[in-house]
Chains A and B, each alone.
Chain A
């Protein structure tokens, strides 16, 4: 399994950081070659959560793929579908109404905050800081309540649809969400006070897992991993999609490229996401939430019950599915972990010919052997925590 040949004379020890481990954030296995406590070689063995999502997508209609793609990054469920529906809409050549774009941004940024809160709690827990977990989950539960209020599901609501959304926001959502984002910075101070100037936290994370900006580009890192090293890149600002250009936000950058800087970047990103949600809620335009195209979006239910064309339209879309023209597109979004890309090839039929998911965790994890070499075993745990992997994203 291990690519290095060890002769019987060497004194390195082979340790298996097995797939069942409290700190690996899922079923990750790392083959470690240790010299005492120093890591000589670390070889991640992944695939323990490979569910064959890409293959399954080829046998379903475009809408039926939505629950599958939702479960790619299970900490930020709706964010994955954001990338998928944008890719299919690019194939179709449709653009959803402004209201739907704003609501999509609201949901995506709320899931970003939820995902970062979970990261904060669990990676702090790995390094021994148990308290931030309970504080972070307090806010995360409120976001889950918001998700449930708006679209019925806590983790995997499948709210985004090709051509818009499943339904409009319920009455009263704006007020509850605004209350939450306005109170969030004060709650954020709690986690900041616990960790940012904490000597143990700084000792465990400073100068651990350093990547220079050139290495970041070479190893394909994106998202907070790249920004922690000072690479000024955010797809929401540089290749904007879904009306992100209407919002005013700062892209936080780190300096040293170590675990501590990435922690600071993610903390600031939470505040910026709350800012974006507040702007989106305050400027939310009225209108439809689905594109007015009978080939793409389901007609409203009232029309289906009264109008024969709408009934036929409804049946055709559900039975046969939408049929984008033949072609291929690549659409990437700034997901919570980095660049989440969907490469979809259509052959003109109702089933996608090929769906390739460019998963950020897969690429971010590939540099861990390089970062872990020569470090202590406990630094490996800090490195895995900072990479913020989600195994379903790694394995798909």
Chain B
């Protein structure tokens, strides 16, 4: 089933799929960030895949590797009880940004706010991108980044 999903994405978006990974039964499709909204819409609306549920959006900091920031989307299909992960690396290491998927799943709203808050990734097209967990008045403070000390300053 996971190969079917990968084939479907590759068929519609042949240039966007960079790589695929399979580890301990989990499938990860590594894609380019520009068309993430369209790929998610495909995976949600296609009746064979039916990923109508977004489990979570995680932001990862791969410093000192480049590209530094990646955003990982975990999707679940209630029909086939399957999961798939989409990983998109942000193009810019200094000011990371990626299109928002709030138009695909409403639940992405808070997930993306959390990624912005803790990692500093901007989600283009998000209706209300502001801090959610750390105090609102903090500036330039992204505590989950690798160069931020765990005890703070």
Q: Does chain A touch chain B in the assembled complex, meaning CB atoms less than 8 Å apart? A: yes
Chain A interface (Cβ < 8 Å from any Cβ of B): 1, 3, 46-47, 50, 52, 54-56, 58-59, 90-91, 93, 217-220, 231, 233, 238-239, 327-330, 332, 339, 341, 343, 345, 354, 356, 358, 362-363, 365-367, 395-396
B57 to chain A, nearest CB (A): 9
B55 contact from A54, A238, A341, Cβ within 8 A: A341
A-B contact count (CB 8 A): 94
- Interface contact A330-B150, CB-CB below 8 Å: no
A188→B78 CA distance, assembly (Å): 32
A362→B148 CA distance, assembly (Å): 24
Q: With CB as the reference atom, state the residue of chain B lying closest to A357.
A: B56
Inter-chain contacts of B53 with A (CB < 8 A): 217, 220
- Interface contact B81-A239, CB-CB below 8 Å: yes
A237→B131 CA distance, assembly (Å): 37
Query: What string of 1s and 0s marks CB contacts (under 8 Å) between B130-153 and chain A?
Result: 111111100000011000101000
Q: With CB as the reference atom, state the residue of chain B lying closest to A47.
A: B133
Given the known A-B contacts A50-B134, A220-B53, A366-B110, are A56 and B150 also in contact in the complex, defined by CB atoms under 8 Å? yes
A307→B72 CA distance, assembly (Å): 46
A345 to chain B, nearest CB (A): 6
Chain B interface (Cβ < 8 Å from any Cβ of A): 23-24, 26, 28, 52-56, 58, 60-61, 72, 74, 78, 81, 83, 85, 105-107, 109-111, 114, 118, 128, 130-136, 143-144, 148, 150
A59→B53 CA distance, assembly (Å): 32
Q: Which of B26, B72, B107, B134 counts the most chain A CB atoms within 10 A? A: B107
A8 to chain B, nearest CB (A): 23
A91→B110 CA distance, assembly (Å): 28
Inter-chain contacts of B54 with A (CB < 8 A): 220
Given the known A-B contacts A233-B78, A343-B56, A366-B109, are A329 and B133 also in contact in the complex, defined by CB atoms under 8 Å? no
Inter-chain contacts of B60 with A (CB < 8 A): 345, 354
- Interface contact A330-B74, CB-CB below 8 Å: yes
Q: Which of B26, B53, B61 counts the most chain A CB atoms within 10 A? A: B53
Q: Which 9 A-B pairs have the closest CB atoms?
A: A220-B107, A358-B56, A47-B133, A356-B58, A366-B110, A327-B23, A50-B133, A217-B52, A238-B81
- Interface contact B28-A362, CB-CB below 8 Å: no
B26 contact from A52, A59, A330, A367, Cβ within 8 A: A330
Inter-chain contacts of A218 with B (CB < 8 A): 52, 105-107
- Interface contact B26-A329, CB-CB below 8 Å: yes
Inter-chain contacts of B128 with A (CB < 8 A): 3
Given the known A-B contacts A91-B24, A220-B105, A231-B78, are A47 and B52 also in contact in the complex, defined by CB atoms under 8 Å? no
A67 to chain B, nearest CB (A): 16
A339→B133 CA distance, assembly (Å): 21
Inter-chain contacts of B107 with A (CB < 8 A): 218-220, 363, 366-367
A390→B26 CA distance, assembly (Å): 29
B85 contact from A55, A239, A330, Cβ within 8 A: A330
Inter-chain contacts of B56 with A (CB < 8 A): 341, 343, 356, 358, 363
A239→B114 CA distance, assembly (Å): 27
- Interface contact A55-B144, CB-CB below 8 Å: yes
A217→B51 CA distance, assembly (Å): 10
B133 to chain A, nearest CB (A): 4
Inter-chain contacts of A396 with B (CB < 8 A): 133
A56→B150 CA distance, assembly (Å): 6
B120 to chain A, nearest CB (A): 14
A363 contact from B24, B28, B110, B150, Cβ within 8 A: B110
- Interface contact A47-B132, CB-CB below 8 Å: yes
B62 to chain A, nearest CB (A): 9
Inter-chain contacts of B28 with A (CB < 8 A): 328
Inter-chain contacts of B85 with A (CB < 8 A): 328, 330
A19→B23 CA distance, assembly (Å): 42
Inter-chain contacts of A52 with B (CB < 8 A): 143, 150
- Interface contact B83-A47, CB-CB below 8 Å: no
A1→B74 CA distance, assembly (Å): 30
A46→B117 CA distance, assembly (Å): 12
Inter-chain contacts of A55 with B (CB < 8 A): 143-144, 148, 150
Inter-chain contacts of A231 with B (CB < 8 A): 78
A176→B36 CA distance, assembly (Å): 54
A329→B28 CA distance, assembly (Å): 10
A90→B81 CA distance, assembly (Å): 18
- Interface contact B55-A332, CB-CB below 8 Å: yes
Inter-chain contacts of A220 with B (CB < 8 A): 53-55, 105-107
What would be 24 A-B contacts, judged by CB atoms less than 8 Å apart? A46-B132, A47-B132, A50-B134, A55-B148, A55-B150, A91-B24, A217-B52, A217-B53, A217-B78, A218-B52, A219-B107, A220-B54, A239-B81, A328-B26, A329-B23, A341-B56, A343-B56, A343-B72, A354-B58, A356-B58, A358-B56, A363-B56, A363-B107, A396-B133
